[in-house]
Amino acid sequence: MHIREEAAAMKLAAPEMAAASAEARNQALEYIAQGLEENRDRIFAANAADLRAAEEASLSSAVMKRLRYDETKMRDSISGLRQLQSLPDPAHRVLLERELDEGLVLQKVTVPIGVIGVIFEARPDAMVQVAALCLKSGNCAILKGGKETAETNRVLFSIIKESALKAGLPESCLLQAELHTEIDELLSCDREVDLLIPRGSNAFVRYIMEHTRIPVMGHSSGICHIYIDGTADLTKAIPLIVDAKVQYAAACNAVETLLVERGAAERLLPPIASALDAAGVRLRGTREAADLVGRTAGLPVEYMEEGEFDTEYNDLVISLKLTEDVREAVSHINRFGSHHTDCILTEDDAAADYFLRMTDSAGVYRNCSTRFADGFRYGFGAEVGISTGKIHARGPVGLDGLVTYKYLLNGKGQIVGDYASGRKQFHHRDLHRETRG
Amino acid sequence: MHIREEAAAMKLAAPEMAAASAEARNQALEYIAQGLEENRDRIFAANAADLRAAEEASLSSAVMKRLRYDETKMRDSISGLRQLQSLPDPAHRVLLERELDEGLVLQKVTVPIGVIGVIFEARPDAMVQVAALCLKSGNCAILKGGKETAETNRVLFSIIKESALKAGLPESCLLQAELHTEIDELLSCDREVDLLIPRGSNAFVRYIMEHTRIPVMGHSSGICHIYIDGTADLTKAIPLIVDAKVQYAAACNAVETLLVERGAAERLLPPIASALDAAGVRLRGTREAADLVGRTAGLPVEYMEEGEFDTEYNDLVISLKLTEDVREAVSHINRFGSHHTDCILTEDDAAADYFLRMTDSAGVYRNCSTRFADGFRYGFGAEVGISTGKIHARGPVGLDGLVTYKYLLNGKGQIVGDYASGRKQFHHRDLHRETRG
């Protein structure tokens, strides 16, 4: 397959896809839902083949769990597809309508971005979700899933593509890339592809960011912090910190570093460290934090250097550090964090206010787990990824992050010369402004 | 000066700048306006020195005109500064407030982007306007103006910086880069700088885009089209086309290519070609268009190849081509254009509708000059540039393009485990959604 030729055809089809009606796009989602039901045996057989290959390759049970596509996951896919259908169309919305002068009307209208390349991990449910988000938002998409689910993805993609065509969407609206070598070809398609969304390991995402001129949306790392201020309520703090670390340690929104206010560390840190230790978390920390935990809780803490605080463990390991106050905590987070999601535990409104205002992250929380950073939990219906960039979209990215806008100007022959010379004046009267989340 | 060290200090100051009150930022704009008045002699003397140097370097009179900073331009700067003060704060706006569950409230709040690098052409009024837009939107900025106005820029920047500090904004909120060599250093500051906005020649902007990993907003070229459909009204079309080409031929929103519906070309093209010729515009075109104009209007038209239609003349030259219909015109524009601003002249609503929907450009117009693509004309108060990208901001970029958002989540100790296990359910109740243009 020649990605560039296919991407060029897709680029030309993109305006047609963008102009497709919301009904046609929703119909495609419904056909996918029906297609999954109708092809369950084929899908599960393909998935069984992937699982056998994974077993032969001795992949870990955690990975195996992600590769599996069973009744439960299919039910989730189908309910996700139905939920997406019920969401309002993110495209074709008039954000602003302004009369610049008599008979000269400007409209700012949302439109799909165009051609989006999504490279995602080996998870069959991701294939369905990503394709559905792109179709719902009116974008053409090139989809490359992890090779460990190649058989399942092939079947799923054929159902998805068939559904899109049956609903009347353009032939070139979707393309599956299957070979790892095609990724480099995709990265070079900066005239054809409008946006890349890579998901996966930090090293992989960084590789993508460094090897393409296409705009990239996503996150290379999730170094999330919890700062425990002196007024924190331990009865809330302990289960919350354990949840943020242990509930799914490999997630990008799991906490990696605990910062504790020095003046209250003797009270706060020992029970927190004990709870983490009991949950199977390995403790690392500055000499000061390590000594305190060793002395008060009798737990071993591995010494770590200041420079190591930019580590994302993705595992049951956590870094500990004491800070003088909320200011030092924020400055540590802004320096060592990845601008993903950071939380303060406090009963003090002034400290919370400072933290929420000054922390330069996509998500800034008070008294709740960092694990809430997720499109479903935010009520976006689904997410295509989480962005730690500041341009375009930030945090969990749902349908709104997959559209841009264009300006339409309708006139009756107006020329700029009349306004430049002062013969005419703009009056800039807003006829309409739409609500936008 | 070491840009990287200064940029690193600026990065740390950015959250403080972002948290500065709207009053302080407006106060800085007012101090700048007063500072310009108070330092008029110093400013005009510096500008006179720049103009003398430009004269010695034999720069063209068109360029000289842009370098000049006189009473009129100062009055425009001051009125621009006052107008910006009166605009609502683009930062600190709550776009969405949603209760995810009892006592767990998500807010989506606009925040400044952080550190913005703007590299702009030699125009003293641009220095004032760009600095003012960055201050108003709460961003820290590194400003690099064209070297031909170095003396004027130095005085203007000192007034601007002093005004910002007097208003209580952080010491590191603004930085002036003066040497061309500092641009390459700036391009390498991808950990410190959040966004680059280059303005200037196509080659320069392309150089910037190709030599940095910092997100770049702007346009490298403005290849704008006017398609004249068979129903076009010639009494509107002729002055409009002349305006779009001649009113300011060097502007990015000037028209470069006229596409004419083949079936009506005998009626439309001769008077249009004659009017352009009379306005001093040199005509180029396909063999078909050239022969038609030669035969009917007796004007010489230089033959050009299909591949040359991606040319931006920035001068009194225009390309002519016949197309079968609006479909072929749109497909030509999507292929050869730069996604800047394109216009259809038609009295046929169906043709207009097709053109407006299918043309993949930041601005798509009907029956008005492409020269309207401008932040002032759109009523944005001012613009920092025009974006032909599709990510983040498109078309003229005003204050809204200089902010992003963050998600704030306030809880009472909620953990994800309760929702994952089904013990609790999200209810996603919107408390507030703000209007956003």
Based on the domain organization, do B88 and B8 belong to the same domain? yes
- Average pLDDT of chain B, as a whole number: 94
Based on the domain organization, do B164 and B236 belong to the same domain? no
Q: Does A327 touch chain B (CB under 8 A)?
A: no
In chain A, residues with a C-beta closer than 8 Å to the C-beta of B395 are 406-407
CATH code of A232's domain? 3.40.309.10
What secondary structure does DSSP assign to B323-357, as a single string?
ESSHHHHHHHHHHHS-SSEEEEE-S-HHHHHHHHH
Q: Measured between alpha carbons, how far is residue A422 from residues A426, B238, B305, B383 in Å?
A: 10, 21, 40, 20
Q: What percent of chain A stands above pLDDT 70?
A: 99
| B66 contact partners, CB below 8 Å, separation of at least 6 | B121, B122, B123
CA gap B209, B176 in Å, rounded? 21
The pLDDT score that the predictor gives to residue A1 is 53
The pLDDT score that the predictor gives to residue A202 is 84
End-to-end CA distance of chain A: 40
- 3-state class percentages of chain A: helix first, strand second, coil last, to nearest 5: 45, 20, 30
- Given the DSSP bridges, would you call strands B224-228 and B282-285 parallel, antiparallel or unpaired? unpaired
In a structure prediction context, what are the per-residue pLDDT tens digits for chain A, which is 437 residues long? 589 999 999 999 999 999 999 999 999 999 999 999 999 999 999 999 999 999 999 988 878 888 999 999 999 999 999 999 999 999 999 999 999 999 999 999 999 999 999 999 899 999 999 999 999 999 999 999 999 999 999 999 999 999 999 999 999 999 999 888 899 999 999 999 999 999 988 888 989 988 998 999 988 789 999 999 999 999 999 999 999 999 999 899 999 999 999 999 999 999 999 999 999 999 999 999 999 999 999 999 999 999 999 999 989 999 999 999 999 999 999 999 999 999 999 999 999 999 999 999 999 999 999 999 999 899 888 889 999 999 999 999 999 999 999 999 999 999 999 999 999 999 999 998 765 44
Decide: residue A300, CB within 10 A, 0-12 exposed, 13-18 middle, 19+ buried: exposed
Domain boundary among A192, A218, A244: A218
| B75 contact partners, CB below 8 Å, separation of at least 6 | none
Q: Does B215 touch chain A (CB under 8 A)?
A: yes
Based on the domain organization, do B207 and B320 belong to the same domain? no
Closest partner CB to A100 (pick from B19, B379, B413): B379
Asked if A404 and B390 come within 8 Å (Cβ–Cβ), the reply is: yes
Which stretches does DSSP call E strand in A148-222?
Answer: 174-176, 195-198
CA gap B286, B353 in Å, rounded? 27
Domain membership flag for residue A428: no
Asked if A414 and B113 come within 8 Å (Cβ–Cβ), the reply is: no
CA gap A59, A63 in Å, rounded? 6
Based on the domain organization, do B118 and B135 belong to the same domain? yes
The pLDDT score that the predictor gives to residue B1 is 53
Asked if B417 and A247 come within 8 Å (Cβ–Cβ), the reply is: yes
pTM of the model: 0.93
> Mean pLDDT, to the nearest integer, of B87-102?
94
Domain membership flag for residue B402: no
Which stretches does DSSP call E strand in A301-350?
Answer: 302-303, 317-323, 341-345
Based on the domain organization, do A293 and A344 belong to the same domain? yes
Based on the domain organization, do A249 and A212 belong to the same domain? no
Report which DSSP code applies to B275.
Answer: H
Residue tagged 């419904």 (tokens): A30
Q: Does B113 touch chain A (CB under 8 A)?
A: yes
Task: For chain B, positions 219-248, list CB contacts with chain A under 8 A.
Answer: 233, 235-237, 239-240, 243-244, 247-248
Based on the domain organization, do A128 and A155 belong to the same domain? yes
In chain B, residues with a C-beta closer than 8 Å to the C-beta of A102 are none
Domain membership flag for residue B212: yes
HSE-up of A208 (CA within 13 Å, CB side)? 27
CA gap B341, B371 in Å, rounded? 9
CA dihedral A374, A378, A381, A386 (to 10 degrees): -30
Q: What angle do CA A361, B111, A333 make, to 5 degrees?
A: 25
Question: Is B329:B355 a contact under the CB 8 Å cutoff?
Answer: yes
What range does the domain containing A339 cover?
224-372
| A285 contact partners, CB below 8 Å, separation of at least 6 | A293, A301, A302, A303, A304, A319, A320, A321
CA gap A332, A323 in Å, rounded? 9
| A396 contact partners, CB below 8 Å, separation of at least 6 | A373, A374, A375, A378, A380, A383, A385, A386, B407
pLDDT of B436 strictly over 60: no
Closest partner CB to B409 (pick from A14, A368, A408): A368
Domain membership flag for residue B423: no
> CB contacts < 8 Å between A and B, how many?
258
ipTM over 0.85: yes
Domain boundary among A356, A372, A388: A372
pLDDT of B67 strictly over 60: yes
Amino acid sitting at position A157: F
In chain B, residues with a C-beta closer than 8 Å to the C-beta of A363 are 406-409
CA gap A424, A414 in Å, rounded? 10
Q: Measured between alpha carbons, how far is residue B185 from residues A213, B148, B179, B404 in Å?
A: 19, 21, 10, 25
Task: For chain B, positions 328-357, list CB contacts with chain A under 8 A.
Answer: 330-331, 334-335, 352, 356-357
Closest partner CB to A247 (pick from B420, B426, B435): B420
The pLDDT score that the predictor gives to residue A436 is 46
**CA nearest A431 in B: which residue?**
B437
Q: What is the pLDDT of residues A419-430, one digit of tens each?
A: 999 999 999 999
Asked if B435 and A437 come within 8 Å (Cβ–Cβ), the reply is: no
Task: For chain A, positions 186-205, list CB contacts with chain B under 8 A.
Answer: 194-195
Domain membership flag for residue A153: yes
Domain membership flag for residue A363: yes
CA gap B91, A256 in Å, rounded? 30
Based on the domain organization, do A213 and A237 belong to the same domain? no
Based on the domain organization, do B241 and B190 belong to the same domain? no
Question: Is A220:A338 a contact under the CB 8 Å cutoff?
Answer: yes
Domain boundary among A372, A398, A427: A372
Amino acid sitting at position A342: D
Q: Tokens in use for A342?
A: 């950071």
CATH code of A127's domain? 3.40.605.10
B144: left (phi over 0), alpha (psi -120 to 50) or beta: beta
Residue A260, SS3 per DSSP: strand
In chain A, residues with a C-beta closer than 8 Å to the C-beta of B239 are 413, 415
What secondary structure does DSSP assign to B28-87, as a single string?
HHHHHHHHHHHTHHHHHHHHHHHHHHHHHTT--HHHHHHH---HHHHHHHHHHHHHHHHS
Give chain A's domain count.
2
Based on the domain organization, do A181 and A265 belong to the same domain? no
Q: How far is CA B159 from the centre of its chain?
A: 25
Closest partner CB to A243 (pick from B96, B210, B416): B416
The pLDDT score that the predictor gives to residue B434 is 64
Residue tagged 């969405």 (tokens): B96
CA gap B40, B230 in Å, rounded? 55
Q: Does A377 touch chain B (CB under 8 A)?
A: yes
Based on the domain organization, do B239 and B294 belong to the same domain? yes
CA gap A185, A395 in Å, rounded? 28
pLDDT of B433 strictly over 80: no
Closest partner CB to A411 (pick from B368, B412, B434): B368
Q: Tokens in use for A217?
A: 């949306």
Based on the domain organization, do A296 and A198 belong to the same domain? no
> Mean pLDDT, to the nearest integer, of B300-304?
97
Decide: residue B397, CB within 10 A, 0-12 exposed, 13-18 middle, 19+ buried: buried
Q: What is the pLDDT of residues B213-260, one digit of tens each?
A: 899 998 878 999 999 999 999 999 999 999 999 999 989 999 999 999
Domain membership flag for residue B437: no
Domain membership flag for residue B30: yes
Q: What angle do CA A43, A48, A54 make, to 5 degrees?
A: 130
The pLDDT score that the predictor gives to residue B437 is 42
